[in-house]
A and B are shown apart, each in its own frame.
Chain A
Amino acid sequence: ETGVTQTPRHLVMGMTNKKSLKCEQHLGHNAMYWYKQSAKKPLELMFVYSLEERVENNSVPSRFSPECPNSSHLFLHLHTLQPEDSALYLCASSQDRWGSNEKLFFGSGTQLSVL
């Protein structure tokens, strides 16, 4: 148990659906992240939040919309996705955003399939 919980664990959605991924951390951290991991590819950093403020958006399509209502919760709202968006979506947190000695704590991820 890493202290970072993601739900749902698995999600199947059609291209016209709207769904949301949820992440909650119980570590008292100030920074939270969304990563995408496609099959046999490295993890791709999507969004970075620090103290509930989005500080990075790595050229992610607008069909992915993050939300961070407080420092413990992070959402990823999905709409009109494409089949190539099928991947493992991982949430992570760290004490702070800056510092090369930050340690990331990951959730178990949501395995998303877009049909």
Chain B
Amino acid sequence: LAKTTQPISMDSYEGQEVNITCSHNNIATNDYITWYQQFPSQGPRFIIQGYKTKVTNEVASLFIPADRKSSTLSLPRVSLSDTAVYYCLVGEDTGRRALTFGSGTRLQVQP
């Protein structure tokens, strides 16, 4: 199974760029990388998904190196409202691990 590893927590200040890296050394050829955001007492929310190189949307960017053994979620100019837990999920053909959440990274944004 392709296990993901993320930092347990990160701290930042408003206006800074935050980069959260996820390690997935055993990623398989057909695996996609998906990131979710979760606020307290709410369900996770899809942020971004990628397969290789770089993906950007209105919320974040996802950088995936050529070997795909890691990925970095980049949040530009964070605000207090970006304080949340961020999860990296790596799927497989069966879809099983696209459903399995780890402990995620708890991002705390300070004023």
Q: Are A104 and B95 in contact (CB under 8 A)?
A: no
Which of B49, B93, B99 counts the most A-chain CB atoms under 10 A from its CB? B99
0/1 string, B94-111, CB within 8 A of A gives 1 = 110111111110000000
Instruction: Pick from B28-36, B57-65, B72-80 the stretch touching chain A.
Output: B28-36
Q: Are B99 and A104 in contact (CB under 8 A)?
A: yes
A74 within 8 A of B: no
Sort chain B's interface into a size bin: 20 to 34
Q: How many A-B residue pairs have CB under 8 A?
A: 69
Q: Are A100 and B32 in contact (CB under 8 A)?
A: yes
Nearest Cβ on chain A to B98's Cβ, whole angstroms: 5
Q: Are B43 and A108 in contact (CB under 8 A)?
A: yes
Which secondary structure characterizes the binding site on chain A?
loop
CA–CA, A89 and B50, complex, Å: 28
B81 within 8 A of A: no
Q: Are A2 and B45 in contact (CB under 8 A)?
A: yes
CA–CA, A107 and B41, complex, Å: 11
Q: Are B95 and A100 in contact (CB under 8 A)?
A: yes
B92 within 8 A of A: yes
Q: Are A108 and B42 in contact (CB under 8 A)?
A: yes
Choice from A2, A48, A96 contacting B99 with Cβ under 8 Å:
A48
A66 within 8 A of B: no
B22 within 8 A of A: no
Q: Are B103 and A42 in contact (CB under 8 A)?
A: yes
Identify 5 residue pairs between A and B in the complex whose beta-carbon atoms are under 8 Å apart, listed by A's number.
Answer: A2-B45, A100-B31, A100-B32, A104-B36, A104-B98
Q: Give residues in B with beta carbon < 8 Å to A.
A: 30-32, 34, 36, 41-46, 49, 51, 90-95, 97-104
Please give 18 more A-B residue pairs, beta carbons under 8 A apart, in addition to A96-B95, A104-B98: A2-B43, A2-B45, A45-B99, A98-B95, A99-B93, A99-B95, A100-B30, A100-B95, A100-B97, A100-B98, A102-B95, A102-B98, A103-B46, A104-B46, A104-B99, A106-B44, A107-B43, A108-B41
